[in-house]
Structure formats: structure tokens, C-alpha cells
Amino acid sequence: GAVSDDSQCIELTLSLVGNDRPGIVREVSQALAAMNVNVLELTTDCAPAEMSAVPLFKAEAVLRVAKDFDTSKVADALEAISNDLMVEISLD
């Protein structure tokens, strides 16, 4: 279930960059939901890559998770969505 006690939670900033394709936002959202991660904010952008015209998917998210949450699990799950997805997670 969801964690309601804020003192037991931390906020993380998640940055994603990868090749854009249909459904990627939904896949990212589902992966986070499957791990009981609260997504407080999610902004996505799609822009051509500098070196090529390939559209790049970029996302920034603010996540709330339990203090003892293993952030590497999030990175692994998101990287599993797409082998070109670069994931960065930082504590606020």
C-alpha cells in the first residue's frame, strides 16, 4: 500500500533520456507504479538529438518513496524498459 507518513518518506529526482517511441511514458509510469513509487511530478519532452535527427525522449520526475527504498531497483526496472534508456536518480 501507499506510505502516508511523510517522515518515513524521501523525495527523489529522476531523469531519463532515451530514444523516443510510442508508449514509453506509459511503460515508465507502470514500472514506477509496480514498485509503489508515488510520482509527484512528471514532465516529458521530445527533441531531436544533437548529432542525429532521431527524436530523444526526456523525462524528469519527482518521486516519493519510503526511506529504506532501494533506488537501484528503480534504475534497473526503468533500464529494462529500453536498452538505450539512461536513468539518473538523485536525492533532493
Q: Where do the domains of the chain lie?
A: 21-91
Q: What is the pLDDT along the chain (92 residues), one digit of tens a residue?
A: 555 566 889 999 999 999 999 999 999 999 999 999 999 999 999 998 888 888 999 999 999 999 999 999 999 999 999 888 999 999 86
CATH level 3 topology of 21-91: Alpha-Beta Plaits (3.30.70)
Round to the nearest angstrom and report the end-to-end CA distance of the chain.
23
* Count of other CB atoms within 10 angstroms of residue 79: 16
Detail the DSSP E strand segments found in 1-92: 9-19, 38-48, 55-66, 86-91
